Amino acid sequence: MGTRITRKDADRALQSYCALSGQPYGHYKAGEYEDGHLATIRNGLAIDYNPTYGGCIIERIAHDGGTWVSQPYSRERKTPREMVEYISGLCAGYSDYKESPR
């Protein structure tokens, strides 16, 4: 029987990718508000999870409060397990790129 993979695992994988690539991790801070908007980190990457619509997607938060987002990596939602595998591939590809001679 396989190990259960949850949204938290996808969040941790995205945090690892952000640390590796130097991009900000722009998580949504549940219950925290700034100027009436949900508190976020501008230009950060975040996991949007909604099981009703098919699972996880990576979003770039392009505006304070998370009111404007883009999906720079894919517009296709994935299960948490698929998202962890996808992000692992991003990390491997980024590591190979950084190590390649130019």
The position carrying tokens 């950084």 is: 98
Residues 30-44: tens digit of each pLDDT: 556 666 556 667 788
Residues 42-84: tens digit of each pLDDT: 788 888 888 898 899 998 887 665 567 788 888 899 999 999 9
Phi/psi for 47 (5° steps) reads -90, 125
* 28: pLDDT strictly greater than 70: no
The dihedral sign for the CA sequence 95, 72, 17, 6: negative
* 100: pLDDT strictly greater than 90: no
Q: Two tokens at 92? A: 């491997």
Q: What is the CA radius of gyration of the chain?
A: 14
